[in-house]
Every structure is written in structure tokens, then in C-alpha cells.
A and B are shown apart, each in its own frame.
Chain A
Amino acid sequence: MNRFVTWRPTPWEGTLFVLIFCAAGWSAHLSPYYLSLDQILESTRQFIIPGLLALGLMVVVVTAEIDISLASILAVGAVIFARLSAGGIGLAGAIPIVVLICVFLGAFNGFLVARLGLPSLAVTLGTMGAYRGLAFIVGSEAGYTNFSDMYQSPGSDYVLGIIPISLIVFAVVALLMWFLLQKTVFGRRCFAVGRNKDAAWIAGINVKALKITAYAIAGGLAAIAALIWIGQYGSARGDNADGAILFVVTAVVLGGVDINGGRGSVLGVVLALLLLGTLRNGMGLANIGGPVQTVVLGALLTIGVLRPVALRGVQTLRGTLNARRHEREKLAENVNNKTPAQWREKTGENNL
């Protein structure tokens, strides 16, 4: 087969495509300023930070766990950047340190969940508070704003004048994550573990190490998100990205990643991010306030999470209807197309 036709978007990814265009059309209808390359490229910056967190969370969710402490890890990363910047350390030295610390914080979540066998939702709710407190403790209460241009450039500069560097970073990370999840042994094992942990274990997969790795990857991506954050907002404080986790979880769920693990695609998550970004941008242009946006986000999350349920319901209904029709047809066939002699021959009653 031609390898170009083997890729087909799933129905849900197709739906997301259509929805993105609908949202964009709606935004263009609302505001004359929407349809310009500048504006659209600029608006992508809104979802890059939660987008990086979403790509990390996705790996964790695929292994059938969850991590809602990611926004807090981002805050810790941001204040450590602030500390290092204040200490006069260059960006090249700061990035490895922050990435290492964030990877460690993520891996600690993984350790608690995988090694000690604790339920991930309660544990990461706990570490969410603990890491948030840690960010305040490290960064003290006042925000830090004296970042040098070098620290800010990844989050605020442009290539060719209009393409934000952060967008390129996001695209590269998304491609890497796609490669990691779809094309490497590690990625396929993530899906295997998420689908059936016990079967994966019997098949010789080190489930615990794999989950810890997944959490560590999510932590590492939170560090990159922190770098983009300080460029975009020019400040670091303990309450950075507080409440961002709602947007992140919504993107992952809406992107078709099964919250029970084992299903999902990077393309879906990216499309969901584009959709949410377009909606947010459009609502912003239309002067719709933050509270309504929160309600829309919450409604989308609820819909996204109930979508598999609705799908299951429709399938069951269709199955029942099909079975009934099949039965009726069979009955009709038997009654109409066979003479009593044929019937007897078929069922072997004439042997009696």
C-alpha cells in the first residue's frame, strides 16, 4: 500500500478539524481584526504554555494515571529560573538545572504512584498543594521581574518578525512527543500499560519504571513551559499558572485521550488545543468576560469526558436495533423462502 494513504484521521480528529474552522469562522464574523496572519500567530501564544503541559499530561493519562500537579511544577520551575537569574547564572546553565529539578518533581509523583501504589488523583492533588507551597517558599512572596533579555527571549522573541519562538518550540515538542508515543518502543508500551496493566506486566514490561518515566517526562515539559512563561509574562511568582490545570485537562480530554488510559493521539491533543485557543481568542475579541470563558471551558471538559459514554450508548442502541432487524429478516426468510418440505429437510425433521 501507498504509505501516504495509510494515515487517516479518526472521526473525532475530523470533527475537531471542522469545529476549529467553525470557531475561526465565528471569530472572523465577530471581529474584523481576526483574519490577519499577525493576529492568528500572536493568538497561538495563549495556548502554548498549557499546551506544553497538556502534551506532558497526555503521556501520563495514556498510562492510565493522572497528574494535576503540573501547573505547580511550572511555578516551581519559574521561581527557580528567577533565583538563578538573580544569582547571575546564564540561561545555558539555568535550563539544565531547572529541567532536572522539574523532572525530579515529576518523577517523585511517579514514585509515589507507581512504586508505592498510591492512587494518582489523591497523591497529585496533595503534591499540587505541596509544590505550590514550595514555589512560594523558594520564590518568597514578592514576584521577580528583573529577568535579563536572554532569559526572556524564548518566550517573547519572533523568528522572521512574526513567528513566535515559543510556537516553534511547541511544534518541535509536539513532533517529538508524536514520535515518542507512536514510533518508539517506550510509547507503544505506554499504550499497552494504559490498556491493560496486568497483561503488560506479564508481557515483560516494567510497569513501575515506565510510569515513573512518564511522570518525569511531564515534569520536564513543565520546565520548558516555565521557560516560555517567564518570557511571555516577564515575571515569576509562586502563584504562576494557578488554575491552568483546568485548561490542560480539558485539552487532553477533548483531544480524544481516554481518561481511563490506553487511547489517544498527539494530533488530537494539538487539534483540541487549537480549538480551545481559537475559541478563547474569539471570545476575547468578542469581549466575552473571563467567567463565561470559564463556564465554556468547564462545559467543554464535561462534554469531552461524557463523549465516550454517549458513543457507547449509541453503539449499544445500534447494536440492539441491528440484532433485532437481523432476527426479523431471518425469520422472514425462513417463513417466506422455504416450503414446508424444504424446512423439514433443512432441520432434519424428516428423518424421524
Chain B
Amino acid sequence: MAQMKPRQSWWAQLLRQRILGVVITLIALSLFFSCIAPRFDSLQNGQVIIANAAILAIVAAAQGMVLLTRNLDVSVGAIMGFTAYVAADYAAHHPHVGILLVVIALVMGGALGAVNGLIVAYGKVSPLVATLGTMSLFRGFTYIYAHGQEVTASNLPPWVLLLVDLHIAGIPFLVIVSAVVVSAVAAFLRFFPLGRRIYAIGSNPGASIFCGLRPERMTLFAYILCGTMCGFAGLLYAGRVGTVTVVLASGWELTSLAAAVIGGISVAGGAGSVLGAALGAIVLSMIDNGLVLLHIPEFWRMFVQGSAIVLAVTADAIINKQVRRSLRQLRLGGRVA
């Protein structure tokens, strides 16, 4: 037991480190921007940043969960767009749809996610190529379904728009919903057996098979949950922007991946937390906000996001190397003793 002790505390240290990375980035960025950007450090601006990050946080958590299984989903934006359009269109034709609208969005997102999951998990296809294909499929279906039309805010049922703009005790409703969803998923991944299995198959697929897990099922499950969350996020986004077009949420695959890896989720699978991914979304939102306040052209955003992905992935690889080295030393140390 004496030998186990240092390892445990060391793992705890590592866990802290992963979240710590994004927290430090967050603090450093806010200090940086408050020094050089005017009006950055006002309470109102802080609210804007958090509100803008709310929907992205859900998508980033969804993307992060798929990353945990050593896979990737570049169709998140297309799922959001397709679901948002179908839901908005349905709501425009049936004004008294009520809570059924949410059910439609969730089921449809889940179904689209299941298509991804089936191809990736049971087809054993490279997740990037498979979801690149489904991305164009979903987006194309949206175009065909829409027939060049769009759903404007006046067609949406008023309660959707009201709900999205609602503030409860000064906090935007969207932020509360986002916080609840992300914490629920984080708790699920942390405390439920199924959640732990998702970590297990991402961390070491071979070992998880020997332990009697079925990686295919877990992967499929992760993709379905990811799709469901994206469908929900799509609905929220539709309510937020009001006018639902066919190109809604295009480019979110890059943004969500950036948020997830900045948040400390390892692209090699099995490490990180979706809470970090949500914090990563706030980091991106803060960068956007800062760039706008500094009057820097909009296209720098893409450069920053892309570079952020590369930097975060590099940092992750370096940490992983350190982890492996420390583990080996621990093992060797144990044998010598």
C-alpha cells in the first residue's frame, strides 16, 4: 500500500493540472485583455462573454465526450444546423407545439449522432473521414429540406424567443441551461459506470476489451449522446439568432474542437473533463470579445483558433510524454525497492 500512495497523489496532481491549464489560460487572458482592451473588465462585458460561450460550451462538452473515446466528430455543426432548421420549420407550422419541440430536437440529434456512431464504431472507419462524409450529407439534406427558404424570428413561436432572452436572478437562462447540461454530463462521466467505461475505452481499448467492455457500444453511445446534445444546442442557437438559415452553425466543428482541446481533453482519448471543455469555450469567447474590442479584423479569429488547437494538442502530447516517463520511473522504482 505504501507504494500505491505516491501514485494516487500523483494522479490527483495530474487531474488538477489538466483543469489547471485552462484556468490559468483564462486568468492570464483576462488580465492581458483588461490591460490593453478598453472596457474589457466591466461586469457587463463579463456577462456578454459568458452568454456567448453558453451554447458553445454544450457543443464543446459533446465534442469532448467523443474525444474521450479516441474519436472525433466534425459533423457537430451540421447536426446543429439540420436539427435547428427542422425544429424551427416544425414550430413555424405548428405554433402550439410546446415541449414537443425539444423532444424533436433531442431525438433527431440523437438519430444523426447514431448514424455517425454506427459508421465509426461498427464500420471501423477513420472518424475524421466518416464524419466529414456525414457532415456534407447532413448539410446537404438541410439545403434540400429548406428549398432555399429560411425561418425568420416572426415565424418562430414567441415563447422560444422569450425563453432564450429570459434572465433568472440576473443570469441569462441560456447560461443556466448550459451549466446544468454540462454539469450533468460531467457528473455522468465521473460517477456513473457507463461514464467511467467511456474513459476506459478511450484510455486503453485493448485493456477494456480484456475487462469485458464492448468498445463499439460505448463509442456508439458517446456519438448518440453527442448528437443529442448538439441537437439541443442547435435548438437553443436557433432561438438565440432568431433567423434560422441553412448555413447555421457552419464552422462549429473547428470551434468546438478548439474549445475541447484547450479545455484539456486529450485527443489521444481517455483524459480530461467536459467541465474543462466548457471553460475552453469561455476562453474562446473571451478571445473573440477581446479581438472585437481591440478592432482586430474578424479573420484573425480563425488563425487564433487553429493555432490554439495546434498549441493545445502539442502541450497535451508533452504532458503525456511526461506522464509515461513518470509512470515508468514509478514502476522501476517499485521493482528496485
- State the A residues within 8 Å of B (CB): 66, 68, 112, 116-119, 121-123, 125-134, 136-137, 141, 238, 245-246, 249-250, 253, 259-260, 289-292, 294-295, 297-299, 301-302, 305-306, 309
Contact = CB atoms under 8 A, between A and B. Distances in A.
B38 interface: no
Nearest to B127: A121
Contacts of A246: 132, 135-136
B140 A295 contact: yes
Given A129-B306, A133-B299, A294-B140, A119 B123 contact: no
Contacts of B74: 125
B303 A134 contact: yes
A112 B72 contact: no
Nearest to B137: A298
Contacts of A250: 133
B112 interface: no
Contact of A309 (B125, B141, B261, B317): B125
A245 B129 CA distance: 11
Contacts of B140: 291-292, 294-295, 298
A304 B303 CA distance: 32
Contacts of B309: 122-123, 125-126, 129-130
Nearest to A134: B303
A112 B312 CA distance: 12
B317 A116 contact: yes
Contacts of B257: 122, 125-126
Contact of B310 (A66, A130, A302, A309): A130
B144 A295 contact: yes
Given A122-B267, A292-B144, A301 B313 contact: no
A160 B247 CA distance: 43
Nearest to A109: B310
B314 A118 contact: yes
B330 interface: no
A260 B126 contact: yes
Contacts of A121: 72, 126-128
Nearest to A300: B133
B255 to A, nearest CB: 9
Contacts of B125: 259, 305-306, 309
A303 B172 CA distance: 44
Contact of A126 (B128, B139, B141, B313): B313
A130 B132 contact: no
A322 B172 CA distance: 65
A288 to B, nearest CB: 11
A305 B254 contact: no
Given A301-B133, A302-B137, A309 B123 contact: yes
Given A121-B128, A305-B123, A127 B137 contact: no
B186 interface: no
Given A291-B143, A291-B144, A295-B136, A112 B304 contact: no
A143 to B, nearest CB: 13
B307 A126 contact: yes
B305 interface: yes
A121 B261 CA distance: 13
Contacts of A305: 119, 123, 125-126, 129-130, 133
A305 B132 CA distance: 11
Interface of B: 72, 74, 119, 123-130, 132-137, 139-141, 143-144, 253-254, 257-258, 261, 267-268, 297, 299-310, 313-314, 317
A249 B129 contact: yes
Contact of B129 (A116, A137, A253, A294): A253
A129 to B, nearest CB: 3
Nearest to B145: A291
B250 to A, nearest CB: 9
Contacts of A133: 299-306
A136 B305 CA distance: 14
Contacts of A295: 136-137, 140-141, 144
A297 B136 contact: yes
Nearest to B316: A118
A74 to B, nearest CB: 16
A178 B307 CA distance: 34
A298 B132 CA distance: 8
Given A302-B137, A305-B129, A306-B123, A129 B267 contact: no
A276 to B, nearest CB: 13
Contacts of B144: 291-292, 295
A66 B128 contact: yes
B300 A301 contact: no
Contact of A301 (B124, B129, B143): B129
Contact of B143 (A119, A294, A306): A294
10 contacts: A112-B310, A116-B317, A122-B257, A122-B267, A123-B310, A125-B74, A132-B302, A141-B299, A302-B130, A302-B133
Given A122-B309, A294-B143, A238 B299 contact: yes
A136 B306 CA distance: 13
Contacts of B301: 133
A122 B316 CA distance: 12
A119 B313 contact: yes
B234 to A, nearest CB: 19
Given A130-B307, A246-B132, A291-B143, A66 B126 contact: yes
Most chain B CB within 10 A, of A125, A238, A245, is at A125
A118 B300 contact: no
Contacts of B267: 118-119, 122
Nearest to B124: A309
A259 B131 CA distance: 14
